[in-house]
Structure 1
């Protein structure tokens, strides 16, 4: 079995025709469990959770239209899960919980893209990596991984070590492994699964998320996994899944987690 639970329609339109391009690609790639997880910041209903100039300029969707699209897809016989990728926002747990409860998501992805006012994965902010303390940014990033897990709001954490995207990585391995250890301990005590994401292969870092040492800690602590491509165009659905499966098996995984209306079920790794 294969999953691809992290995909976005934002470069096209919230239409059945465009969605079908993604589901058709999933079928061709042999992906049995496929979902769309649009960025929550695009929706007017999340303004009370995350708001800054970069995000607000991209808020253009209404959740009613999003939900309607999935009902159209299901009526048309498309096998697609409805999800959202929410920017985990410290101090907004009640607002995030209220939003998640308002919709019948099959699963919810929580991701960290912001460290204070720093959009860590955005090209517009790349220069900030040279201005800020690398170790402080990493520590704050993994602080959020810990509190994301402790919130127990999310089924999956997206691209667990996204912070490495531009190849800014601490040289102090002891420090890095300390961040990995506290993050995986918190995740192991939550319901949160970790995705192996192939998106990093298409980014400057040129690596899968997460780092093999980090994924090994996930396996050793019994944290379930899913596979994801983080596709923003249909052509990237299921991209490089052979490498994701190889990484999963190399640390010991033999199962993936699947989701349907909040229910989870382990299946053999394809």
Structure 2
């Protein structure tokens, strides 16, 4: 059973291809299950389309859901389509986001911290001029936000939990945040949700998956479940390196991975 829970399409403004393009690519790649999970709108902003090259417009959200459900029915004899969304996490706006998501029959919601202190985690310039203590503080804050996101109970999957390394590979070597990382992983295990192995890191400066093997080993230690997400922004990347990830997880010691249907965990043996 091959599944990919993390895919985007042209509504978000920085991916190419329609939802149907990704479905066709998944069928060609031999996928059994495909989750569509484009970036959620900025619900707390007054503008309809606050960030045109980052996330979809608020007015597009119901159309997005309708299109996924329509295509789910059209392709039901060829592949199972799951309705998902990749949600930003802003602690001060969590109730607004929760209210919006409750309107729709999501199979799962991916919670991703994309900003800390109002700056993108992918902005390499955020690290300029910071001393070692300040860098540690930034890393600690990032994992504290991830831990907080777990405790909201809103998310079934956490997205790319060490993605701050994407355009700043030295992030991996910043010491002093080990307690915050472990606290976040323990929270994931306690809330019985999952982290994703996201293969899009190979397209960034860091050149590898999210999260690192070391973090996956810590996740296994705490009993954290994992899932797979290509984070595809072009159809050709659907299911990218799925078999390599499956093999690596087995080498680390995992026995299973999971996906979500109607927010219920489905266990798949490795």
Unmatched 5+ residue regions in structure 1? none
**Total equivalences in the alignment:** 256
Q: State which of 43, 48, 73 in structure 2 corresponds to 1:47.
A: 43
Q: CA deviation at 1:156?
A: 0.1
* Secondary structure in structure 1 of the residue aligned to 2:259: strand
Pick closer, same or farther for the CA change 1:66–1:57 going to 2, 3 Å.
closer
Pick closer, same or farther for the CA change 1:71–1:170 going to 2, 3 Å.
closer
Q: 1:219 and 2:215 equivalent? A: no
Query: Who is 1:2 aligned against?
Result: 2
Which range moves more in the overlay, 141-150 or 217-226?
Answer: 217-226
Which range moves more in the overlay, 131-140 or 87-96?
Answer: 131-140
* Secondary structure in structure 1 of the residue aligned to 2:92: coil
Aligned counterparts of 1:11 and 1:56: Cα–Cα separation in 2? 11
If the length of structure 1 is used for normalisation, what is the TM-score? 0.86
Q: 1:69 and 2:70 equivalent? A: no
Q: Is the 8 A contact 2:8 2:36 kept in 1?
A: yes
Query: Who is 1:56 aligned against?
Result: 51
Q: Write the deviation string for residues 24-55 of structure 1: whole angstroms up to 9, x where unpaired.
A: 221222221211101002xxxx432x679x95
Q: 1:113 and 2:109 equivalent? A: no
* Secondary structure in structure 1 of the residue aligned to 2:105: coil
Q: CA deviation at 1:99?
A: 1.7
Aligned counterparts of 1:155 and 1:30: Cα–Cα separation in 2? 25
Q: CA deviation at 1:77?
A: 2.4
Aligned counterparts of 1:120 and 1:51: Cα–Cα separation in 2? 23
Task: Kindly report the root-mean-square deviation, in angstroms, between the aligned alpha carbons of the 2 structures.
Answer: 2.3
What does 1:17-28 correspond to in 2, within 5 Å? 18-28=18-28
Which range moves more in the overlay, 248-257 or 136-145?
Answer: 248-257
Pick closer, same or farther for the CA change 1:247–1:180 going to 2, 3 Å.
farther
Q: Is the 8 A contact 1:226 1:257 kept in 2?
A: yes
Unmatched 5+ residue regions in structure 2? none
Q: Is the 8 A contact 2:136 2:174 kept in 1?
A: no
Q: Write the deviation string for residues 92-150 of structure 1: whole angstroms up to 9, x where unpaired.
A: 222222122111001110001100111112xxx33222144321211110010110111
Q: CA deviation at 1:211?
A: 1.1
Query: Who is 1:102 aligned against?
Result: 103
